[in-house]
Structure 1
Amino acid sequence: MARGVNKVILVGNLGNDPETKYTQGGMAITTLSVATTSVRKDKDGQQIEKTEWHRVKLFGKLGEIAGEYLRKGSQCYIEGRIEYGSYDKDGVKHYTTDIIADEMQMLGGKSEGGGERPQRTAPRQDSAPRRQQPAAQQAPMDDFADDDIPF
């Protein structure tokens, strides 16, 4: 039997600061509002921008890192899956669409996103092996001490 694929990749900017809550067991759940913008030309040649907003949820250590280091305006790369849900409120059924992230990378330099954070990759939540970049493609990270790494 063939399996389906549910994979989402977003590169966008945060519309507000992350919101982190903790379960009774102490696990972090961080919610991000990520904007992605596409540009196209209409029939008259005018550029039209369309912005889509995505609700992204990060769990555990990944959520803690996002809550600590991301801020409104930060650019980030999110990889995960789409999940649909629903709930009843006052007799009315509401539908939700969330991106459940299993990988997050902070993008941009020191001047972007309102903070002076070096670029980092957060660890994956699963046990799958991580692809290594060739040494020539890895960014030099000589501007911080090992104590600055949040994981």
Structure 2
Amino acid sequence: MNKVMLIGNVGKDPEVRYYEPDQCVASFTMATTERGYTLPNGTSVPDHTDWHNIVLFKGLAKYAEQYIHKGDKIYVEGRVRYRNYDDKKGMRRVVTEIYADNIEWLSAPRRQEQASVSTIKESDDKDTDDSKLPF
């Protein structure tokens, strides 16, 4: 079985590429961190962060394009894939990617989005003519 479950923070906004008018692929990096701790003898073990390349297809890619942003906390479930390529110097490189089957957004709503909603509500209130109200 090839199954990966990660909880972490998005490292950059998704890059979305359309290969047909309604079909796309999105990719972004994600950081997972193991918190540091102190051993009984006083030795301090620092935090350890790993970076993952996440790849999404079709509907998940469209979701990511609209809703996933740098810094968001997400849960990703998928499978590990490896691919090889030769770089400009002719060196063989291996890329490890997570092909996501499921994503859940764990972040709280963004403050900018909340501010824009409250701004719209405030402007709606200002446009109201008090003389027309029935009370």
- Correspondences of 1:1-150 after superposition (within 5 Å): 5-24=1-20, 26-43=22-39, 44-90=42-88, 91-111=90-110, 115=113
Is the radius of gyration larger for structure 1 or structure 2? Answer: 2
Deviation at 1:81, TM superposition (A): 0.2
Return 5+ residue gaps in structure 1 as ranges: 117-151
Report the residue type matching 1:110 in the other structure: P
Tell me the equivalent position of 1:123. none
SS of the equivalent of 1:23 reads: strand
Deviation at 1:47, TM superposition (A): 4.6
Report the residue type matching 2:23 in the other structure: M
SS of the equivalent of 2:46 reads: strand
Alignment RMSD (CA, Å): 1.9
Q: Aligned pairs, how many? A: 111
Deviation at 1:53, TM superposition (A): 0.4
Deviation at 1:13, TM superposition (A): 0.5
SS of the equivalent of 2:98 reads: strand
Deviation at 1:37, TM superposition (A): 0.4
Deviation at 1:22, TM superposition (A): 1.1
Tell me the equivalent position of 1:119. none
Alpha-carbon distance change, 86 to 115 in structure 1, aligned in 2, over 3 angstroms: farther
Alpha-carbon distance change, 20 to 34 in structure 1, aligned in 2, over 3 angstroms: same
Q: Structure 1 segments of 4 or more deviating over 2 A?
A: 40-47
Report the residue type matching 2:12 in the other structure: N
Deviation at 1:92, TM superposition (A): 1.5
Return 5+ residue gaps in structure 2 as ranges: 115-135
SS of the equivalent of 2:36 reads: strand
Tell me the equivalent position of 2:125. none
Tell me the equivalent position of 2:132. none
Alpha-carbon distance change, 25 to 94 in structure 1, aligned in 2, over 3 angstroms: farther
